Structure 1
């Protein structure tokens, strides 16, 4: 379906670009927040990414899908903003002050609380791990697509996902312990 709208926009039907805005704005925002850890900056980067995609659409080649091409733009813009702002984030350190928490505690939480805890835990992870989890689990991208979007090798992607899952569990245990 994206192909049809790419063609329409390239032929001058700029209103058709709204299709991409509606379809990808939430994903782009989620991805940017996971990298920038700041919703205001994430909104700016999402806007810049859509503008860049709109202007670059004529040079888009169909080697990849629009989705993976756009994800790549979003990631590049977010990392450029991160470098530009020269912000330093405290990375989650596995094993730090970790105590055993019953894993079943997570499943007893209300759904909204679970979502809140998951988002907080994602913010605690290093950028690469947070991006990998969001793409693979929340956006349901395949390993192959995650590799294409991020530029990582397949083996590197699998290692990052493995570490991310372990660190995510540790982060969730800490959050649950602090809140209960």
Structure 2
């Protein structure tokens, strides 16, 4: 289905790109938020990623999935923003997201557990938070996580292991 819209955009129908925005905006925002930890910055990164994807669509390699290619752009843009914020020393970890976003991401978990999970994720290193978000919450495979993040399979497994360890530690001491 994505290929049809890619062809349409490449043939000059720029309005066809709205398909990708509708389909991927929530996940892109969620990925970005897991890295930058701030709703406003995550929205900006998501917009920037869509612009980069639109402008780079001509160079998209059709052997890959659009989803993986686009989420890789989101991850790269998120880490770029994170580095930029750290350089300016204005980066602040946000303790809470809006309830609407939490409910959407964690529908099957009770409100009490949702709050605890969010607090834990907000305390994690951005890479660990991203790995957990993609692998457990979005239920992507290790291979998909490696494609999206650009990490090796071994590195992805190590980051997931460290993230699980960090979650256990935080869960025991903070909550």
Same-fold call, TM cutoff 0.5:
yes
Instruction: Look at both structures and tell me which one has the larger radius of gyration over its CA atoms.
Output: 1
Please state how far the C-alpha of 1:12 moved relative to its aligned partner: 1.6
C-alpha contact 2:35 2:126 (8 A) present in aligned 1: yes
**Aligned counterparts of 1:137 and 1:124: Cα–Cα separation in 2:** 17
Name the structure 2 match of 1:64. 64
Runs of 4+ in 1 over 3 A off after TM superposition: 87-91
Equivalences for 1:1-180 in 2 at 5 Å? 1-85=1-85, 86=87, 87=89, 111-176=110-175
Deviations 1:24-47 (A, max 9, x none): 111111111111111111111111
TM (norm. structure 1) is 0.80
1:127 Cα deviation after fit: 1.1
Gaps of 5+ in 2: 94-108
> Does structure 2 retain, via aligned residues, the 8 Å contact 1:117–1:175?
no
Q: How many residues align?
A: 158
Residues 5, 175 of structure 1: alpha-carbon distance in 2 compared, 3 angstrom cutoff: farther
C-alpha contact (below 8 Å) 2:38/2:92 kept by paired residues: no
Structure 1: gaps of 5 or more residues: 92-109
Q: Deviations over 1:51-100 (max 9, x none)?
A: 11111111111131101101111011111111122248799xxxxxxxxx
The alpha-carbon distance between structure 1 residues 115 and 82, as it changes in their structure 2 partners (threshold 3 A), is: same
